[in-house]
Amino acid sequence: MKYTRYDIKRKKNNNFIFGITLISTLIFALIIGTLISKIIFKNSSLNEKIFKIDNSTNVSNAITEKEEKNSLKFIGIQGGLFSQSENIQQSKNILSNYGIPFTVTEEKGTRVILGIYSEEKALNIIKILNENNIDNSKINFEINLIKNDACDEVIAELLNAEINILNEVSNKDTKSIKTNDLKAWCEENTKKVDNKSKNFTILNEIKTNINGMPNELGKDKVSEYYVFIYNTLKKLNGK
């Protein structure tokens, strides 16, 4: 009589190896699936964000979530209002230790302004100036965001982006910032605006200003673009 010989030990080993392989495959698939889902979620949410410079010199890498607000506030930090040129230059020299000041001449005299900032950032800078006994005052600007008005929304986003770029270039450690991505973003988002909107003319002025920026914005152009933003905010605030 012939007997069939079964290798029980070998069969157990094969089952054990198969089990380990199956578990490892499932764990690997779970990790890959999680990574892919994060990437897809991240990319799908970019359309709901706006440009904001932090510590990056590349606009495309500096995007922050858009907050739901009824208005957007900016503050110009003024070193003084003068009528004599020597006082103007003296104020600029003092403020140049903290940024790239610019001047605006009006009926009352010439304003020396350190920069225009978001409300939070301005308050931090004012604190530093006060600690160093540097004279300063606030110029308040506010953009009211009308619900379902794409024009005012895009204006606020573009000014916010441009202001943050100028703030970043004003830092001593920043040589320049590339503006190509901002220009492309501006072109794409202004398409959705109705040309009958109240502030459509102002939006076109902002668009023209952004398109006229050099592809790499350096410190030598900061004052010029600050003046434009100052005058634009004055229009929007009826000042």
Contact (CB, 8 A) for 98 and 42: no
| Percent of the chain residues past pLDDT 70, beyond the cut | 70
Whether residue 11 has pLDDT greater than 80: no
Higher pLDDT, 235 or 21: 235
Higher pLDDT, 9 or 228: 228
| Percent of the chain residues past pLDDT 90, beyond the cut | 61
Work out the average pLDDT over 131-148: 90
Give the pLDDT of residue 47: 36
Structure confidence at residue 195 as a pLDDT band (50, 70, 90): confident
Residue written as tokens 């198969």? 18
Mean per-residue pLDDT over the chain, rounded: 81
Give the pLDDT of residue 30: 63
Is 40 buried (19+), middle (13-18) or exposed (0-12) by CB count in 10 A? exposed
DSSP of 100-159, one letter per residue?
--EEEEETTEEEEEEEEEEHHHHHHHHHHHHHTT---EEEEEEEE--TT-HHHHHHHHHH
Give the pLDDT of residue 51: 42
Task: Quote the radius of gyration of the chain (alpha carbons, Å).
Answer: 28
Higher pLDDT, 178 or 37: 178
Contact (CB, 8 A) for 91 and 80: yes
Least confident of 35-39, 77-81, 87-91, 129-133: 35-39
Residue written as tokens 């990574």? 35
Whether residue 210 has pLDDT greater than 80: yes
Work out the average pLDDT over 65-75: 71
pTM of model > 0.75: no
> 180-190 and 200-211 helices cross at what angle (nearest 10)?
150
Residue 107, both tokens: 């009926």
